[in-house]
């Protein structure tokens, strides 16, 4: 089970609109390039696929989260092996994809998807550094990751979100990504990528 956590900004309705404008819009739509996203405060972040050289930065990002933020991300305040998670996010894969947002060389957010047994469906997760909430980092990451997923024939994202994670629920609602059903404390979200493009 992968929780979406850490993003607190609304996701834009179009994945490919404009070159520079509202926070989180991409300057490049070419999948071969690492695009730059402009955030709400006018600063820019580089969005690129994570690789093995990023493992320490991924560990540091997750280590810096509070227990509550880790709980929202992993459904437990003390995930058993953050190093294994970081390894998985940074290993080369033909199916799965992890995207990092870098500001002045520092990793401030990660969005990733893991392809399920149904090749057109992937589980998606998001985490943004605590001090970078509300800047549009999550918006930029989700927009770019959705675009990449569609180019890789992924048609649906799904995610599990704790009911108490109100900020992430607001992000999903603003994006039009509604929960399909609730299972106690968990909302199950199914995102049709064709409807958000």
The two tokens of residue 54 are: 């990023």
Is residue 85 one of the residues assigned to a domain? yes
Q: Number of folded domains in the chain?
A: 1
Classify each residue of 47-73 as buried b or exposed e, where b means 16 or more C-beta atoms within 10 Å of its C-beta.
bbbbeeebbebbbebbeebeeebbbbb
> Within the chain, which residues score under 70 in pLDDT?
1-33, 170-179, 197
**2 part of a folded domain:** no
Rounded CA separation 135/140 (Å) = 10
pLDDT of residue 182: 80
Q: Is the dihedral of CA 50, 64, 46, 6 positive or negative?
A: positive
pTM above 0.85, yes or no: no
Residue 14 lies in a domain: no
Task: Answer yes or no: are the C-beta atoms of 62 and 80 closer than 8 Å.
Answer: no
What per-residue confidence (pLDDT) applies to 17?
Answer: 33
127: in domain? yes
Domain with 155, as residue range(s), is 25-196
What CATH code is carried by the domain that includes residue 139? Answer: 3.40.630.30
Q: What is the pLDDT of residues 137-165, one digit of tens each?
A: 888 888 899 999 999 999 999 999 998 98
In a domain, 77, yes or no: yes
Residue 20 lies inside a defined structural domain of this protein: no
Asked whether residue 15 is domain-assigned, the answer is no
Structure token digits, residue 29: 């739509």
Q: What is the pLDDT of residue 136?
A: 83
**Residues paired with residue 140 on neighbouring β-strands, in sequence order:** none
Tell me if 140 sits within 8 A of 48, measured CB to CB. Answer: no
**What pLDDT, on a 0 to 100 scale, did the predictor assign at position 47?**
97
The verdict on residue 4 lying in a domain is no
């Amino acid at each position: 089970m992968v929780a979406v956590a850490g993003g607190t900004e609304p996701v834009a309705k179009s994945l490919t609109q404009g070159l520079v404008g509202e926070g989180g819009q991409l300057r490049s739509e070419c999948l071969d390039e690492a695009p730059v996203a402009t955030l709400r405060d006018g600063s820019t972040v580089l969005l690129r696929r994570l690789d093995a050289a990023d493992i320490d930065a991924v560990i540091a990002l997750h280590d810096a989260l509070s227990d509550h933020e880790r709980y929202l991300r992993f459904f437990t305040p003390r995930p058993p092996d953050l190093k294994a998670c970081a390894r998985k996010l940074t290993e080369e894969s033909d199916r799965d994809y992890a995207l990092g947002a870098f500001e002045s060389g520092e990793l401030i957010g990660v969005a990733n998807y893991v392809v399920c047994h149904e090749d057109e469906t992937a589980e998606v997760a998001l985490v943004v550094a605590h001090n970078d909430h509300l800047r549009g980092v999550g918006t930029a990451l989700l927009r770019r990751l959705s675009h990449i997923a569609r180019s890789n024939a992924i048609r649906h994202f799904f995610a599990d979100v704790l009911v108490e994670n109100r900020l992430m629920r607001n992000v999903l609602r603003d994006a039009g990504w509604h929960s399909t059903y609730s299972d106690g404390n968990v909302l199950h979200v199914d995102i049709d990528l064709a409807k958000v493009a």
